[in-house]
Amino acid sequence: MAKCQFRFFADDRHFCILRYLVSTVWKKRLVMIPDRFRIYETEHWLLNHRIDSALPGYLMLGSATQANDLSELPDEALMSLGPLLANVQRAIQTKLQPTRVYIGRFGHTPGYPIHFHLIPIYTWVEELFWNDPRYRVLEDFGDNSQINATDGAELTFFVWREFCERPEPPPVEGPSLAQVVAILRSELQGSIS
């Protein structure tokens, strides 16, 4: 019997079955993401509001191809990625007016296609970060000469913990999640050909 990657699998056969199921679920993900979160879709990409985020404008751009690495994507998907990210970032900046927009790839779980997080950082989000004493412990790491300065890693961590994982996230300012989806849907449908 082969050693399993996960304790609850008896052998490689069970692990392969799980990977197949995850792959099958991902292929159906376009159907599984509720319409109220969908913003824009192409042959190669789906842009949606992150389903488990209370932060209006936190978007996910996921590949329609079952690939977990850029090098595995079709050339057409790669050629469309840069312009699509630029148009989405522009739409977020223009319509939602955050201080910053972070774009990153973080997921690496086997069986899930490559996807990118687009995270708007509004002035009020950064104020919440600075006013929360729990996050001051982060000042103990790194160079203390940058007092009252933060970076993308700290604010991304804050957004994930407070707006995606917390049962009762902080109150938001500005348009609601539904309004943001409608605003960005309208903007992107009209600006991307």
Closest residue by Cα to residue 24 from 113, 139, 134, 148: 113
In angstroms, the CA 17 to CA 14 distance is: 5
CA angle 83, 63, 115 (to 5 degrees): 85
**pLDDT tens, per residue, the chain with 193 residues:** 343 333 333 444 443 444 444 444 444 455 588 999 999 999 999 999 999 999 999 999 999 988 888 999 999 999 999 999 999 999 999 999 999 999 999 877 777 789 999 999 999 999 999 888 887 777 666 666 656 667 788 899 999 999 999 999 999 999 999 999 999 999 999 776 5
**24 three-class SS:** helix
Per-position b or e across 11-26, b if 16+ CB within 10 A of its CB? eeeebeeeeeeeeeeb
CB 39 within 8 A of CB 181: yes
State residue 174's pLDDT score. Answer: 95
Closest residue by Cα to residue 185 from 95, 115, 123, 124: 95
DSSP 8-state class, residue 10: S
pTM over 0.85: no
- The ranges assigned to domains in the chain are 1-32, 34-191
Q: Write out the DSSP string of 29-48.
A: HHHHS-GGGEEEE-SSEEEE
In angstroms, the CA 128 to CA 131 distance is: 5
CATH of 34-191, one of 3.65.10.10, 3.30.390.50, 3.30.428.10, 3.30.565.10: 3.30.428.10
In angstroms, the CA 192 to CA 109 distance is: 31
